[in-house]
Amino acid sequence: MNATPLSAEVPGHGHGPSLESLLATKEIVVFCGSGGVGKTSMAAAAGLAAASRIGGKVLVVTVDPAKRLADALGIESIGNVERQVPAEAFVRAGLEPRGELYAAMLDTKQSWDALVLRHAPDEQTALRILDNRLYENLTARFVQSHDYVAMERLFEIHQTGTYDLIIVDTPPTRNALDFLDAPKRMAEFFGGRLLRWLTAPYRVGGRRGARILTAASRPFYQVADRLLGSQFLQDIAEFFLNFQSMYDGFVARSRSVEELLHDKRTTFAVVTTLEDAPLREGERFCDELTKRNFHLGALILNKTLPTELFGPAGARAATQMRHESVAIATDVHDGFESESVARVLVTIGMSFENFAVVARREAELRNELTHRPDVVVDVPTFAGEISDVSGLARIARYLMPS
Amino acid sequence: MGPDLLGRRLLVVTGKGGVGKSTIAAALALVAATRGRRVLVVDVDAKGTIADRFEAAAIGFKPREVMPGISLMAMDTEASLAEYMRLNLRVPIIGRLGPLARALDFVATAAPGVREILTIGKVCWEVRESIEGRADWDLVIVDAASTGHVIAQLGAADAIGELVAVGPVRGQTAWMSELLADPAITALNVVTTPEEMPVAETIDLVRRARTELNVPLGAVIVNRVLPELFTRDDEQIFEALSNAPMLDQLVTRVGPGATTVMDAARLAVAMRRSRVEHLNRLRAEVDLPTLFVPYLFARSQGRRETAMVADALAAELGV
């Protein structure tokens, strides 16, 4: 396969800020973007690039890696434990393992359990929360629980000071921006009037089950009772009463998490493809990051068609092959039936023209990029899927051209 | 002959993020509408992508016709709750629900299935109204949540009874379960692309739908399938053309551009090959009718693309 351009042809190489300088100077790089754009592969490849070229201890935290990628990194079903990618894997991929690469998968449930155990005032309360039938449902869904726990875990790992660089692959969410708000929303949730208001009728007087309604909360309970039944509401309130005991711990913690995301040691890399919908989402993301004073480090354009293949010389040749196929095949057939050669030439020419339409659209979208961070990196589409460290090494060469 | 999807009253379209769910939902609507059906498309994630497929302005909870026979609406659980209370509990709600809605929103987040039931409840309600001739639709198409969440949504009617033991909501869910379980009415369809993750999620979803849901499966729709360029014999010619001496002859005859044209063709062939492997896995593990939509070398995503996908789907459905 010769279609892979040489790294020397990668635009922007060697001048000004680069992904390499970001990976060398920041302590945390958060990869984000909409679903299906290849976030996880980019995060893993960036980790590989950093570990092999810059050195130090590098950790890649991923959420839901493709099985092959997980296998490649050796992180299949190991929960929250960080595991080192063996040095031999680097060597096999033709890389020099200058530093150490670790990978970990985020297990939401385990991380939540750990949080509850840390913040609950005593073990009894912790167990009451963990055993509540609402708990699992809640941690699976409320206030972007995956997002929060991903950021929380990032904070925890960063605090240990074990790694020089932590690369985070953000969870696939409906709204890719949710995780930014997660720490703040978590604090608001626990400090919110709403929670107090909801649990108040069950708290007064200390008699469980005896509800005292205020003028403000009465209409709510009237409707809610009719919808859900009062027993169920009581279950919820009791659960939150226990949960509230963790308030101080949670709030302090989520503030620290938010500070870390805003810290100048942290940067964000937005990953997108040059397709309408993911790109629009990616640009919105760039805008939001900037608006909220997060550091937007890089925009990575993934799965692009190699532009050098679809230049004017190729276009001329393709048109000729398509329209003069019979004449060309008379001269070039090398023992094959010239009729068959002509047919193949037409197919090749048409295929080129098809892909050229896409390449032109990509070029146009690239030109229209309104929000360009200092670093914009192109990673061309690869024939196969990334299934091993060698595959990641190929991406890494684009992320960090030598 | 393809599966009889257009004969149903409710088509749910799910799939991993980024595979083109909205495009497929829009195209299905177009196929049905051009055959005389009146279609309502429900955008459950309310991201607005479905409106883009018809180049229509932003849509709201109230269905709006965007072209003859196709109306769109965006799901809004608060509006759905207001409607539910107005229709079922005789609780009049004027304007927005305000603090009450925020409180209910909060409970809905905590209580399993409440938000889901408000979503799927509205969908089922539109379907039932249409069957009984009170709504204008022949077919409701749901541009649903992605694979992870759709199980919770479709299973909400069954699940809510387990937690809400006595509330009136419970009595309101039995008819939904029946409607969703009826193969003459409902079909759950999964969109995928011939890539590793989407195929893995499709296999997983089909398995979970069979074990955890009582909702009939319709078809798997494979989007963005790259064309097979050559027959086996032609592939030999292609290989010969890519190497000396034929490549040199070609360059002499056509010019240096021939090299990049051949490189581009090799990329196309290799991309196709790597995807075939995932298609084979899908075929081996999922025994549902499978519809193939080719990769479109289109200029943009709008009505033109929707129309092209609709043509491809119509051919696959045999309509």
Give me the CATH number covering residue B140.
3.40.50.300
Cross-chain Cβ contact B103/A224 below 8 Å: yes
Note whether residue A7 is domain-resident.
Answer: no
Note whether residue B296 is domain-resident.
Answer: yes
Within an 8 Å CB–CB cutoff, is residue B16 touching chain A?
yes
CA–CA separation, A102 and A106 (whole Å) = 13
> Percentages helix, strand, coil for chain A, rounded to the nearest 5?
60, 10, 30
- Residue B7 scores a pLDDT above 90: yes
Q: Which residues pair with B12 in a beta bridge?
A: B142, B188
Q: How confident is the model at residue A4, as a pLDDT?
A: 41
Q: What is the pLDDT of residues B139-172, one digit of tens each?
A: 999 999 877 678 878 887 777 665 555 555 566 7
Quick one: average pLDDT of B229-237? 94
| Three-state helix/strand/coil letters over A288-323 | HHHHCCCCEEEEEEEEECCHHHHCHHHHHHHHHHHH
Higher pLDDT, A129 or B143: B143
- Same domain, yes or no, for A175 and A295? yes
Within an 8 Å CB–CB cutoff, is residue B229 touching chain A?
yes
Note whether residue B246 is domain-resident.
Answer: no
Range of the domain at B137: 10-227+282-317
- Give the strands of the sheet with B217-225, arranged side by side: B64-67, B70-74, B39-43, B139-143, B10-15, B186-192, B217-225, B290-294
Q: How confident is the model at residue A160, as a pLDDT?
A: 94
Q: How confident is the model at residue A186, as a pLDDT?
A: 67
Note whether residue B52 is domain-resident.
Answer: yes
- Same domain, yes or no, for A321 and A294? no
Note whether residue A84 is domain-resident.
Answer: yes
CA–CA separation, A38 and A25 (whole Å) = 24
Note whether residue A3 is domain-resident.
Answer: no
> What's the domain count of chain A?
2
Q: Which residue of A has its CA nearest to B97?
A: A220
Note whether residue B71 is domain-resident.
Answer: yes
Note whether residue A12 is domain-resident.
Answer: no
Note whether residue B91 is domain-resident.
Answer: yes
- Same domain, yes or no, for A175 and A205? yes
- Same domain, yes or no, for A84 and A31? yes
- Same domain, yes or no, for A190 and A209? yes
Interface of B with A in 127-166 (CB under 8 A): 145-146, 163-166
Note whether residue A376 is domain-resident.
Answer: no
Specify burial of residue A172 (Cβ count, 10 A radius: 0-12, 13-18, 19+): buried
Residue B143, phi then psi, degrees to nearest 5: -80, 95
Note whether residue B73 is domain-resident.
Answer: yes
Q: What is the pLDDT of residues B186-203, one digit of tens each?
A: 999 999 999 888 998 899
Q: Which of B199, B218, B221, B96 is nearest to B154 (CA)?
A: B218
> What's the domain count of chain B?
1
Q: How confident is the model at residue B164, as a pLDDT?
A: 57
Q: Which of A178, A182, A172 is nearest to A64 (CA)?
A: A172
CA–CA separation, A217 and A194 (whole Å) = 10
Give me the CATH number covering residue A153.
3.40.50.300
Q: How confident is the model at residue A2, as a pLDDT?
A: 39
Size of interface A-B (CB pairs under 8 A): 216
Note whether residue B242 is domain-resident.
Answer: no
Higher pLDDT, A36 or B91: A36
Q: Which residues of chain B are within 8 Å of residue A349 when distances are taken between CB atoms?
A: 261
CA–CA separation, A269 and A279 (whole Å) = 14
- Same domain, yes or no, for A271 and A327? no
- Same domain, yes or no, for A39 and A116? yes
CA–CA separation, A285 and A179 (whole Å) = 12
Q: How confident is the model at residue A327, as a pLDDT?
A: 96
- Same domain, yes or no, for A200 and A172? yes
Specify burial of residue B55 (Cβ count, 10 A radius: 0-12, 13-18, 19+): middle
Range of the domain at A204: 18-305+381-399
- Same domain, yes or no, for A274 and A343? no
Cross-chain Cβ contact A197/B103 below 8 Å: yes
Residue B92, phi then psi, degrees to nearest 5: -75, 130
Kindly state the tokens that stand for A171.
């969870």
- Residue A3 scores a pLDDT above 50: no
Q: Which of A236, A278, A336 lies at the smallest CB-CB distance from B107?
A: A236
- Same domain, yes or no, for A216 and A232? yes
A355/chain B closest Cα distance in angstroms: 7
- Same domain, yes or no, for A261 and A294? yes
Quote the percentage of chain A above a pLDDT of 70: 75
Q: How confident is the model at residue A318, as a pLDDT?
A: 96
CA–CA separation, A291 and A288 (whole Å) = 5
Higher pLDDT, A376 or A71: A376
Q: How confident is the model at residue A281, as a pLDDT?
A: 85
Residue type, B168: P
Q: How confident is the model at residue A14, as a pLDDT?
A: 47
Q: Which of A320, A303, A309 is nearest to A356 (CA)?
A: A309
- Same domain, yes or no, for A296 and A315? no
Mutate to test the interface with A, among B192, B261, B272, B277 (most CBs of A within 10 A): B261
Note whether residue A214 is domain-resident.
Answer: yes
Note whether residue A373 is domain-resident.
Answer: no
Note whether residue B201 is domain-resident.
Answer: yes
B222/chain A closest Cα distance in angstroms: 15
Q: Which of A37, A331, A383 lies at the smallest CB-CB distance from B249?
A: A331
- Residue B249 scores a pLDDT above 70: yes
Q: How far is CA A196 from CA A237, A238, A241, A244, B211, in A?
A: 10, 12, 9, 9, 40
